[in-house]
Amino acid sequence: MAKPKIATDWMGACSGCHMSLLDMDERLVELLGKVELTSSPITDLKVPPESGVDVGVLEGAVNNTDNEHVAKRMRQRCKILVAIGDCAVFGGILGMRNFEPAYVALERAYEGADTTVDGKVPDSPEIMRPVVNRAVNEVVKVDVHVPGCPPRADVLYYVLSELAEGRIPKLDETKLTYD
Ligand code: SF4
């Protein structure tokens, strides 16, 4: 029987949730015996295949048009969509930008950062677009939410193992963390 296919991707994020995936250590090898990892930001192939996957995993919030494209593409190409981490589940720390107009964050990042000399906000339609940071489920339907910043490797292992067996993981209070 063909192994279930899994793809992962990230959006507005620090990549810590993918680092937590790697923290499964040797269990990653065991897991990869049960599933086919088709694409991921941490593999050579980055984009989920057009032919689709069984499970799509998204890290990060949706805070620009590219993130929105990534979220919709994964939703379109997977049967079960899993949001991992507080950024994906709730909007995370990136949601702080929602309290200020977009230009405040842009000025802080490009002009006012301690490491910036004579900086200016780049003239890009993508960057200049006012952004409202959103959790993934504000943009596309999410089937499994795994909060945590990041979710523990044990929890990610449990979630992916259950999905590999064709079951929807049950996340009780022993597995959930809210940071
Ligand atoms: Fe990073 Fe935490 Fe967001 Fe994951 S949930 S991307 S670890 S800030």
Confidence of residue 41 (pLDDT cuts 50, 70, 90): very high
C-alpha closest to that of 78 among 43, 50, 102: 50
> pLDDT for 13-30, tens place per residue?
999 999 999 999 999 999
Pocket test for ligand 1, best of 15, 82, 149 (most atoms within 8 A of CB): 149
* Averaged pLDDT score across all residues of the chain: 92
Token code pair at residue 3: 């192994």
Cβ–ligand 1 distance for 17 under 6 Å, the answer yes
Q: Is 84 helix (H, G, I), strand (E, B) or coil?
A: strand
Question: Has residue 172 got a pLDDT over 80?
Answer: yes
Residue whose CA is closest, atom 6 of ligand 1?
13
Ligand 1 contacts CB of residue 10 (under 6 A): no
Has residue 175 been placed in a domain? no
pLDDT exceeds cutoff 80 at 1: no
Do residues 76 and 22 both lie within one domain?
A: yes
Task: Write down the pLDDT at residue 123.
Answer: 83
pLDDT value, residue 97: 86
Mean pLDDT for the stretch of residues 1-7: 93
Q: What is the CA(155)–ligand 1 centre distance, in A?
A: 15
Task: Mark whether 115 and 144 lie in a shared domain.
Answer: no
Contact call for residues 134 and 73 (beta carbons, < 8 A): no
Q: pLDDT class for 53, splitting at 50, 70, 90?
A: very high
What is the atom index within ligand 1 of the atom nearest the CA of 61? Answer: 3
Looking from the CA of residue 150, the nearest atom of ligand 1 is 7
Same domain, 28 and 81: yes
14 with 76, same domain: the answer is yes
177 in any annotated domain: no
Q: How many structural domains comprise the chain?
A: 2
Quickly tell me which residue has 């409202």 as its tokens.
132
Q: Model confidence over 106-120: pLDDT tens digits? A: 898 899 999 988 899
Residue 122 inside a domain? The answer is: yes
Q: Do 44 and 29 share a structural domain?
A: yes
Which domain does 65 fall in, by range? 5-92+133-164
Q: What's the CA gap between 51 and 70, in Å, rounded?
A: 16
Pocket test for ligand 1, best of 8, 9, 10, 14 (most atoms within 8 A of CB): 14
Measured CA distances, 9 to 5, 14, 36, 77, 136 (Å): 14, 12, 15, 12, 12
| pLDDT of the residue at 49 | 98
For residue 86, which atom of ligand 1 is closest to its CA?
Answer: 5
Local confidence band at 132 (pLDDT 50, 70, 90 cut-offs): confident
